[in-house]
A = this chain, B = another copy of it.
Amino acid sequence: MYNYKLVIQYDGSRYRGWQRLGNTGNTIQGKLENVLSEMTGEPIEVTGCSRTDAGVHALAQVANFKTGKRYEESHIKEYLNRYLPKDISILDVESVPERFHARYNAKYKTYLYKIWNREYSNPFMRKYSMHVENKLDVDKMKEASQYFIGEHDFTAFSNAKSKKKSMVRMIYSVTVDQEDGFVLIRMVGNGFLYNMARKIAGTLIEVGLGKLDAGTIPDIINSRDRSRVSFIADACGLYLEKIAY
């Protein structure tokens, strides 16, 4: 079998997320599999690294698929970019060893959360950022962000359904920066539970608005109590930015 790695950029606005849902539903995985199955004449299964949620964007999602035939990387890239919808783009195609697995081999992932922090809306970014009208206290957010770093049980910050799987994740860094009216939160970790990135961003926004004290975050993490984290930041502000292998 030949194995190909894809780097994919998409505007998640009109999709139900990455993961295919049976044969129905408008998903990124489904779109890719349809076009690749047409190209190869085989039923193709695409393995994505991150199952981004409905409305979440990707600057560089990584996936792989296997096929019985050998193709030029440039042919796959051109074919996909020609037949995929214009809100999904293939940035790179690479032939990889058969053992390469987009999810299992990922070392760490970076999520970017974009907040538009002006009293008026940004006409061009209303689908690509969360609008927070009140001025955020970025210094407090920076302070709060440090409590997430390290290996923690993130049950309180997830909606993960399984009770059997580990809720422990390693967060390497969380940074908060200001840039031309935006507040940007970058989170780097070895993995993120379902809704975890949006709940961390939401908690940092509550700190920035003065609704939550930064010092209570360790206590919230340790509680493993989901009811302590009620605010989930809008999907449209979240971007899967980078995956390192």
Contacts and interface: CB of A to CB of B under 8 A. Distances in A.
Interface of A: 9-11, 57, 77-78, 81, 86-91, 119-124, 126, 128
A79 to B, nearest CB: 12
Nearest to A91: B120
Interface hub of A88, A89, A122, A126 (most chain B Cβ within 10 A): A89
Nearest to A124: B11
Interface hub of A78, A81, A86, A123 (most chain B Cβ within 10 A): A123
A32 to B, nearest CB: 14
Nearest to A9: B123
A9 B123 CA distance: 7
Contact of A10 (B11, B81, B123): B123
B123 A90 contact: no
B91 A123 contact: no
Contacts of A122: 9, 89
A89 B122 CA distance: 7
